């Protein structure tokens, strides 16, 4: 009995000790918990602060993107303005150079006593009359231009051009029917204009091609009717007449060479006598300042087929072992294609292939077969 009591007392002491330890651990855990809660509060506050900072940065990022877009647009505008200013500067420089050329001819625009208007002897009445004219003496004014009409010597085109250059001008460049009528009303007979084909195409003396000037189709027709008067005056050996006989048979002037057909701004030669292989046809067109026809529309195809019933060469070909079809001006075959059914096929060969056309469409053909052909060139005036 006493032994059991001692055993129970020993167990009770152990349990009391464990209880005290548990209470100590519990107190420690309470302290840890409070620390964790405090740390958690700090973390929550840090999270809110980070979110606020993130929102601020996001707004700044959006603003920076907007500013970047605005700056990019301003940069593009500045580039455009710079380009415009560069063009304006070049235009002013050209005008300045023209004015410099006219300085030696100032006497022609102003009365002689105006040259020394500061001299002590100049009277008030002289100074009152000291005003310069818009054009030199014996020149005619029309809109913003001055025109000199020769009435004495007749010269070749080159001599006429040099004569104008000596006076700071150039042979006339006709930009409108209104200008043409003005000139014809003042010219006593046939006269030169500043148009030449010395470089292979019709070009004005200022270097611009004929088609770049603002003469519309009606004016073009009027020009065509008067071109003989303007150009066909002096010796035919002049370089200006190198190919002029193609456009001026007898006294008839037209937009296309004699015997050619016109559609819109193009002229077409339809061969009817004799057949050639493709390379000879191409060479024939080149000799006549043209090329084998390049068909860009159904209207053009139908127009040509209306004038020829037989097969004819067109300017489409491909080199040996090549898949791509190319026009004679080195442009690739575009979207407008008028192949016959089953043409051109997927096979390509070891030799060059060329193309013929007829009412049914295009068909590839050996370049060495003989066919009619069609040449194409730009209309002189349309």
Q: pLDDT tens, 71-110?
A: 888 888 888 888 888 888 888 888 777 666 655 555 555 5
- Judgement on whether residues 230 and 269 belong to the same structural domain of the protein: no
Question: What is the rounded distance in angstroms from the CA atom of residue 369 to the CA atom of residue 279?
Answer: 10
Res 346 pLDDT > 80 = no
Q: In this predicted model, what pLDDT tens digit does every residue of 292-307 receive, in sequence order? A: 999 988 899 999 999 8
Phi then psi for residue 315, to 5 deg, are -85, 40
Among 247, 269, 289, which residue terminates a domain? Answer: 247
Kindly state whether residue 86 falls inside one of the protein's structural domains.
yes
- Judgement on whether residues 213 and 267 belong to the same structural domain of the protein: no
CB atoms within 10 A of CB 270: 18
- Judgement on whether residues 291 and 314 belong to the same structural domain of the protein: yes
Q: In this predicted model, what pLDDT tens digit does every residue of 17-66 receive, in sequence order? A: 888 888 888 888 888 888 888 888 888 888 888 888 888 988 889 998 88
Question: What is the rounded distance in angstroms from the CA atom of residue 253 to the CA atom of residue 213?
Answer: 20
Express as a percent the part of the chain with pLDDT over 90: 11
- Judgement on whether residues 36 and 145 belong to the same structural domain of the protein: no
Kindly state whether residue 215 falls inside one of the protein's structural domains.
yes
CATH code where residue 223 lies: 3.10.100.10
Q: Which domain holds residue 180?
A: 140-247
pLDDT at site 162: 86
Sign of CA dihedral 29, 34, 39, 40: positive
Kindly state whether residue 112 falls inside one of the protein's structural domains.
no
Written as six digits, the tokens of 50 are 């980070």
CB 315 within 8 Å of CB 327: yes
Kindly state whether residue 291 falls inside one of the protein's structural domains.
yes
Kindly state whether residue 172 falls inside one of the protein's structural domains.
yes
Kindly state whether residue 255 falls inside one of the protein's structural domains.
no
- Judgement on whether residues 198 and 273 belong to the same structural domain of the protein: no
Domain count, the chain: 3
Kindly state whether residue 109 falls inside one of the protein's structural domains.
no
Among 52, 86, 103, which residue terminates a domain? Answer: 103
Question: What is the rounded distance in angstroms from the CA atom of residue 198 to the CA atom of residue 135?
Answer: 31
DSSP 81-138: HHHHHHHHHHHHHHHHHHHHHHGGGHHHHS-GGGGGTTSTT--HHHHHH----SS-TT
Among 204, 224, 247, which residue terminates a domain? Answer: 247
- Judgement on whether residues 224 and 276 belong to the same structural domain of the protein: no
Single pTM value for the model:
0.38
Kindly state whether residue 131 falls inside one of the protein's structural domains.
no
Q: pLDDT-derived band of residue 244, with 50, 70 and 90 as boundaries?
A: very low
């Amino acid at each position: 009995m006493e032994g059991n009591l001692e055993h129970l007392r020993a167990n009770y002491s152990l349990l009391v000790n464990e209880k005290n330890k548990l209470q100590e651990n519990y107190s420690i855990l309470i302290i840890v918990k409070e620390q964790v809660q405090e740390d958690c509060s700090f973390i929550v506050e840090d999270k809110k602060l980070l979110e606020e900072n993130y929102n601020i940065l996001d707004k700044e990022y959006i603003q920076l993107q907007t500013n970047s877009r605005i700056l990019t647009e301003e940069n593009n505008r500045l580039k455009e303005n710079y380009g415009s200013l560069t063009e304006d500067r070049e235009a002013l420089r050209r005008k300045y150079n023209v004015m410099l050329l006219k300085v030696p001819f100032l006497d022609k625009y102003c009365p002689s006593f105006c040259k020394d208007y500061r001299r002590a002897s100049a009277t008030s009445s002289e100074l009152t009359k000291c005003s310069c004219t818009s054009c030199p003496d014996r020149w005619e004014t029309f809109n913003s231009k001055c025109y000199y009409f020769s009435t004495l010597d007749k010269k070749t085109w080159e001599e006429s051009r040099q004569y104008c250059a000596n006076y700071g001008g150039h042979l006339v460049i006709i930009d409108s029917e209104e200008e043409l009528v003005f000139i014809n009303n003042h010219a006593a007979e046939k006269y030169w204009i500043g148009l030449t084909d010395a470089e292979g195409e019709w070009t004005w003396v200022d270097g611009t091609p004929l088609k770049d000037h603002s003469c519309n189709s009606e004016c073009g027709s009027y020009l065509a009717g008067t071109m003989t008067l303007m150009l066909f005056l002096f010796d035919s050996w002049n370089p200006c007449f190198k190919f002029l006989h193609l456009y001026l048979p007898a006294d008839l002037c037209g937009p296309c060479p004699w015997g050619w057909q016109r559609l819109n701004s193009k002229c077409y030669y339809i061969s009817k006598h004799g057949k050639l292989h493709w390379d000879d046809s191409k060479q024939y067109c080149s000799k006549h300042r043209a090329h084998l026809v390049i068909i860009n529309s159904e209207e053009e195809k139908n127009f040509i087929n209306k004038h020829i019933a037989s097969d004819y060469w067109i300017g489409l070909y491909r080199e040996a072992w090549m898949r791509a079809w190319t026009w004679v001006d080195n442009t690739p075959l575009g979207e407008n294609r008028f192949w016959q059914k089953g043409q051109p096929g997927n096979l390509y060969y070891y030799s060059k292939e060329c193309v013929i056309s007829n009412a049914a469409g295009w068909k590839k053909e050996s370049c060495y077969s003989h066919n009619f052909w069609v040449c194409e060139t730009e209309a002189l005036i349309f």
